[in-house]
């Protein structure tokens, strides 16, 4: 098993951990229903992607 040759300094260890960040998802407006959706995903509101309905439209009365 590979073993580290030297102890990682506090500065080096903390600097590595400091670059760990969650990023906000890219939100775009659905071209069909104008809802705010994640980019490159089927719209969860109207089921449209690339100008056509690819999954069945989910309405609140169907639930």
**Would you count residue 42 as binding Zn ion (CB under 5 A)?**
no
Q: In terms of CB distance, is 4 or 51 closer to Zn ion? A: 51
Which of 38, 45, 49 lies closest to 60 in space, CA to CA? 45
φ and ψ at 38, to 5 degrees? -70, 145
d(CA 13, CA 11): 6
- The residue within the footprint of Zn ion, chosen from 32, 40, 57, 61 (CB under 5 A), is 32
**Would you count residue 55 as binding Zn ion (CB under 5 A)?**
no
- The residue within the footprint of Zn ion, chosen from 33, 53, 57, 58 (CB under 5 A), is 33
């Amino acid at each position: 098993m590979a073993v580290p040759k030297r102890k990682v300094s506090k500065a080096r260890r903390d600097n590595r951990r400091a670059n760990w960040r969650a990023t906000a998802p890219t939100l775009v407006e659905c071209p069909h229903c104008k809802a705010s959706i994640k980019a490159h995903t089927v719209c969860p509101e109207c089921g449209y992607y690339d100008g056509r309905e690819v999954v069945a439209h989910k309405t609140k009365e169907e639930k």
